[in-house]
Structure 1
Amino acid sequence: MSATEAWERYASNARPRRWVNTAGASTWLNWTQYPDHGPNESVLGELAGRRVLELGSGTGSNLAHLATLGAICIGVDLAPSRTDTATTEWGHLPGLEFVTADAVTFLTETDETFDVVYSIFGAVWFTDPAILLPLVRKRMRPGGVFGFSHLPATEAGVTSGRAVSKWNYPAQQWQQMLTTAGFAADTTIIPAPAGNPVGTLLVHASAL
């Protein structure tokens, strides 16, 4: 099974996002695996007029929220069906584009630069950081923000599946790799809501 086929299988089983969150908003950004839990888009700093890239944009709901705040957005996802869903749902918003591509391929081939790059349980978790992080830095403007989240590492290293691998590294190792790639990074573990055992690793980095 190819990586594209694996993500298409995942997409076919994914549950639709709610129409509104608990605050009644129709668009919002969520860094964690728990609905309406954790910080919001403020992690990324000022967004109006900024060029934003999401790696692993899925159905586009997080990126669509940033577009409503005035960001100029591109979302990249490997699964064609996810791109189609995102375009159908959110394509009417100005300053918002969705592309079907592998993250490494997109970053290698594009000549655009970005003020903000982020990934929420997306491509950063599923791509070799030795390859991905330098490419992200190359496509970012100095002072730009790079943010990503995924599950905290229980064992450091690469978890390999049939078609998809995860790069599970503890916070300190992410900081070291980001420093090598040309970033200044801070990491935190967002505690899980009461009754849930697993928090969320959140990384915030600035391009030097």
Structure 2
Amino acid sequence: MSSPKAEIWERYAAKYKPRRATNAAGATTWLNWTQYPDHGPDETVLGELRGKRVLELGSGAGANLAHLATLGAVCTGVDIAPSRADLALKAWGHLGELDFISADAIDYLATAGESFDIVYSIFGAVWFSDPEELLPLVRKRMTAGGVLAFSHPPATQQDAKPGQVVQQRHLSNERWIEHLVAAGFHEIEAEIINAPEPGNPGTVLLRAHVA
């Protein structure tokens, strides 16, 4: 039987609209950290990718992770909604060195045997998980010299109400840095990527390293 959280994400997945076949540059795969198309930094945020073991937390339909696979990374995506993992495998499984798993991010990190050089999340599981629980588990699954990066909307005045099954973690950069340091990360960089149009919300982007 699926969990209440998984059922919520399945309902969200039912509303999914496929990504464009190509971006503004004509590419068929690409990675974008913000909520705006063709905006913001690309995969270079993650450093060298060829041969690296990469984990995406909240991989959705798999398009971002598929792009990293085309660049030579060995990729694993985890998403709590079973239909998302199935869709991602059907769309991108032919690329090879790419696997999608249906699981809660915290449960996966607590039980997985693999280690990863790069872990990232784009409006994904990091945004929806308790950082005091998630970040130490991420740290334990990362290799020396590894990179963690994640993005989400900027902090708001009010977080989700206690008791909700799914809560968004609208934390300030300062609070994220505190949680990352407590979990054992260092060389932490935090920024706000401005929206392409003035007046629209930007995007929080954090990157941290493992010694």
Q: Does residue 1:203 correspond to 2:209, yes or no? A: no
Q: What SS class does the counterpart of residue 141 from structure 1 fall into? A: strand
Deviations 1:86-134 (A, max 9, x none): 0000000110000000001100101110000000000000000000000
- Structure-2-length-normalised TM-score: 0.95
Q: Distance in 2 between matches of 1:47 and 1:158?
A: 35
- Specify which of 14, 28, 31 is matched with residue 29 of structure 1: 31
The amino acid of 1:205's aligned partner reads A
* Residue 96 of structure 1: aligned partner: 98
Please give the alpha-carbon distance, in whole angstroms, between the structure 1 residues aligned to 2:161 and 2:145: 32
Cα distance in 1 between the residues matched to 2:133 and 2:113: 17
Q: Does 1:78 align with 2:80?
A: yes
Residue in structure 2 matching 1:189, options 177, 189, 192 = 192
RMSD over aligned CA atoms reads 1.4
Is contact 1:155-1:169 (8 Å) kept? Answer: no
Bigger drift between 126-135 and 148-157 goes to 148-157
Assess, with a 3 A threshold, how the Cα gap between structure 1 residues 48 and 116 changes in structure 2: closer, same or farther.
Answer: same
> Do the aligned residues in 2 keep the contact of 1:160 with 1:166 (CA within 8 Å)?
no
Match in the other structure for 1:19: 21
Say if 2:61 is the partner of 1:69: no
One-letter amino acid of the structure 1 residue matched with residue 22 of structure 2: V
Q: Distance in 2 between matches of 1:161 and 1:86?
A: 31
Unmatched segments (≥5 aa) in structure 2: none
Q: What is the identity, as a one-letter code, of the residue corresponding to 1:112?
A: E
For residues 133 and 99 of structure 1, what CA distance do their matches in structure 2 show?
Answer: 19
% identity of equivalent residues: 58
C-alpha distance in 2, partners of 1:130/1:155? 21
State the alpha-carbon separation in 1 of the partners of residues 199 and 16 from structure 2.
Answer: 21
**Residue correspondences, number:** 208
> Structure 1 residues 176 and 100 mapped into 2: Cα distance closer, same or farther (>3 Å)?
same
Which whole-Å deviations, capped at 9, do the CAs of 1:134-162 have from their partners, x for residues lacking one? 00000001110000000010126555574
Q: CA deviation at 1:168?
A: 1.3
Secondary structure in structure 1 of the residue aligned to 2:77: strand
Q: What letter corresponds to residue 141 of structure 1 in structure 2? A: T
Aligned mates of 2:195, 2:162 — CA distance in 1: 26
Amino acid at match of 1:128: D
Superposed, which structure 2 residues align to 1:17-166 within 5 Å? 17-155=19-157, 157-159=159-161, 162-166=164-168
